[in-house]
Amino acid sequence: MTGAVTRPMRADGRRNRQRVLEAAAALLAERGLKVQIEEIAQRAGVGVGTVCRNFSTKEALIDTVLAGMCEEMLEQARVAQADPDAGHAFTSFVANVADFQARHRVLAEEMATTVDMPTGAVKIKRALRHAVEDLVARAQDAGALRADIGPADLAMLFAGIGHAAALAGVDSVLRQRYLTVVLDGLRPIHPTPLPGIPLGFEELDRLRARGRRTAARVGGHRGDALEGPT
């Protein structure tokens, strides 16, 4: 499958690649998509050429980083699935994802502006979806989650929470506040029925495929502008 058999790749090369990946992850986490290749190279202690040799394009690099993050999330989903208390499994998973998003600004941005999952992360993505479907279904069976919510609804809400979390930045207390509000809204005791029907991942995909065309990977370049409706 790999060319590794014929040529094991030089040791220092492999090390550098790893350092680039780490530097990229760190910078993407704290600065978002607008980091420059040169910065990443500098942080990794290599030249830009090295970065570009390992990752033919900036997008490829970002995709690789994101794929790693997806794997991490999947792992958290697995942990949650192992929890015998379905309600707790669900809330803790949601909390972990929100926390994760807050720490990794890129992810939040990605989920915000675009939608394609990158690279060969397709497999991971599918696994993640199944895990989420399972967590949702079990939480609903256990009466810990309102029944009119679908797994993809959750994905959308994740995006929203992650967004608020990103704004809250380092303040984990604020993050918890908003997470709690949403979780309260997801409890089954609520009188207000949701309009429409629970959203599945297929519908979400269809919806996104349609609504996109404006989604670019490396979005706005501008640094500053406006504040909210405060």
Contacts with DNA in 7-26 (CB under 7 A)?
Answer: 7-13, 16-17
Provide the residue type at 41 as one letter: A
Q: Which range binds DNA by CB under 7 A, 6-14, 99-107, 150-158, 188-196?
A: 6-14
| Element housing 204 (H / E) | helix 201-211
Query: Which one, 64 or 76, has the nearer CB to DNA?
Result: 64
| Contact mark string toward DNA, 48..77, x via CB under 7 A | xxx-xxx-xxxx------------------
Confirm if 228 and 168 have CB atoms less than 8 A apart. Answer: no
Structure tokens at 69: 């993050």
User: Which of 39, 48, 87, 142 forms a contact with a second copy (CB under 8 A)?
Assistant: 87
Do 138 and 89 touch, CB atoms closer than 8 A? yes
105 touches, from a second copy, DNA, none (C-beta below 5 to 8 Å by class): a second copy
Look up residue 117 and give its two tokens. 């999952």
Instruction: Work out whether 45 is an interface residue with a second copy (CB under 8 A).
Output: no
Backbone angles phi, psi at 198, to 5 degrees: -50, 135
Binding status of residue 223 toward a second copy by CB under 8 A: yes
Contact between residue 135 and residue 80 where contact means Cβ atoms under 8 Å apart:
yes
Nearer to a second copy, 16 or 63 (CB): 63
Structure tokens at 45: 């202690």
Q: Which does 12 bind (CB under 5 to 8 A by kind): a second copy, DNA, none?
A: DNA
**42 near a second copy, judged by CB under 8 A:** no
Q: What are phi and psi of 185, to 5 degrees?
A: -70, -20
Alpha helices per DSSP H over 82-171 = 86-103, 105-113, 122-141, 151-168
172 binds, among a second copy, DNA, none (CB under 5 to 8 A by kind): a second copy
Considering the complex, state which of residue 6 and residue 230 has its C-beta at the smaller distance from a second copy: 230
- What is the binding site for DNA (CB under 7 A)? 7-13, 16-17, 36-38, 45-50, 52-54, 56-59, 218, 221
